[in-house]
Structure 1
Amino acid sequence: MAVRILGLVGSLRAGSHNRQLAETAAKHAPEGIEFALYEGLADLPFYNEDIDVEGSVPQAAAELRETVGAADALLLFSPEYNGTMPAVLKNAIDWISRPYGAGAVSGKPVAVVGTAFGQYGGVWAQDEARKAAGIAGGAVLEDVKLSIPDSVGRFAETHPADDAEVVEQLTEVLRKLAAAAA
C-alpha cells in the first residue's frame, strides 16, 4: 500500500515557485508514494475558536482536517514573506492543530521545504513552519530540509520539474518522509 503524503503550499499565487515545487513532487513521486496537493487553503477562514465549535466548524476547515487526517504524512512548502511563513500556511497549521491534543496533524510526520528569492531560500520561514507544526502536534523531521535560494532567477525559464538537481533533492525528501510514515 502506498504512503500518502499531502502537500500544503503557503502561496496562493498560480505561478508560485513553491506551488511549482509541489507540482514537481507530484510528478516525480517515487514508486510507493502517493503525493497529493491540497487545493483549499484560500477558502479557509482565519482560525477563530468561536467558530471552531463541534457541529458548526466551517466547511473548508472540516475538509482540511479530514484530508490531513487521511494522509500518512505532510509536506509543507513555504515561501518567505517578510522573514517568516505566509499567513495562509500558519492558518492551516492552526486549524489542523485542533482539537488540542487530537488535531489532524497529531503524531504525523511533517517536513518543510521551499524556495524564496533571497540567498538562503527561505530558511527563516521554513524554520518557523517547523516550529509551528511541531507545537501543533506534528512529528517534524528536523533533519529533512530543502531550501532553494534565488527562486526568481533559478526558475525564471525552468520549471522545478525540469531541474534535475531539484528533482533529485525533492525525491529524497519524499523518500525520507515516507520512511518516517511507514
Structure 2
Amino acid sequence: MSTRIVALVGSLRSGSHNRQLAEAAVKLAPEGVEVVIQDEIADLPFYNEDIDVEGKLPAVAARLRETANSADAFLLFSPEYNGTIPAVLKNAIDWYSRPFGAGSFTGKPVAVVGTAYGQFGGVWAQDDARKAVGIAGGSVLEEVKLSVPGSVVRFAETHPADDEEVAQQLTAVLAELAKAATAEPQTV
C-alpha cells in the first residue's frame, strides 16, 4: 500500500522555487510514497462560511477536499511574503480546516518546508504555517524542517532536485513524513 502525501505550494508564480521544490519532492519520493501537488488552490475563493454549505459549495473546494481527504499526510511549501505565510496557502488551510473538528488535516501528519530569497529561507512564514495547520487539526511534525535560503541565487541555474544537499534533505523530510503517516496511533 502506498503512502499518499498531498503537497500544497504557497506560491502561484510560474517560475516559483517553492513549486520547483514540490516538483523535486514528487521526483524524489521514496518507493511506496506518492506525492501529489494540489494545483487548484489558486482557484479557491476566499474562505466564507456562507458558501461552505450544501448547494453553494464551490466545485473547486469540493474537489480539493476530496483529494485532501484521501491523503495520508501533507507537505506544505511556503515562501515568505512580507514576513509571513502567503494568502493562497492560508486560504487553503482555512478551507481544509472545515468542517470544524473533522477537516482534512485532522489527525494527519503535516510538515512545512520551503525556500525564500532571504538569509533564513522563509522560517517565519513556515512557523506561521505550522501554527495555522496545527490549529486546523493537523499533527504538525515540528522537528521536520527544511528552509533553504537565497533561493534566487541558489536556484538560478539549478533545479532543487539537482541540488545534492537540498535533494538529500528533502528526501529525509519525505521519509519522516511517510514514517509518521504509517505509524500506529499512540494511546494515552
**TM tier, smaller:** over 0.9
Per the alignment, residue 35 of structure 2 pairs with 35
Unaligned runs of 5+ in 2: 183-188
- Counterparts of 1:52-131 in structure 2, within 5 Å, are 52-131=52-131
Question: Which secondary structure does the structure 2 equivalent of 1:40 belong to?
Answer: helix
SS at match of 2:48: coil
Match of 1:173 in 2: 173
Paired letter, 1:64: L
State TM-score, norm by structure 1.
Answer: 0.99
Q: Measure the CA separation in 2 of the matches of 1:63 and 1:82.
A: 30
Matches of 1:129 and 1:54, distance apart in 2: 28
Identify the residue that residue 51 of structure 1 maps to in structure 2.
51
Q: What SS does the corresponding residue of 2:39 show, helix, strand or coil?
A: coil
- Partner of 1:47, secondary structure, is coil
Task: State the partner residue of 1:157.
Answer: 157
* Gaps in structure 1 of 5+ consecutive residues: none
Q: Which runs of 4+ in 1 moved over 4 A?
A: none
* Whole-angstrom CA distance in 2 between matches of 1:78 and 1:136: 17
Looking at structure 1, the residues matched to 150 and 121 of structure 2 have their Cα atoms a distance apart, in angstroms, of: 7
Q: Distance in 2 between matches of 1:54 and 1:176?
A: 37
Once the 2 structures are TM-superposed, how far is the Cα of residue 121 of structure 1 from its aligned partner? 0.2
Letter of the structure 2 residue corresponding to residue 141 of structure 1: L
2:25 is aligned with 1:25: yes
**Normalising by structure 2, what TM-score?**
0.96
- Once residues 137 and 64 of structure 2 are traced to their aligned partners in structure 1, the CA distance between those partners, rounded to angstroms, is 16
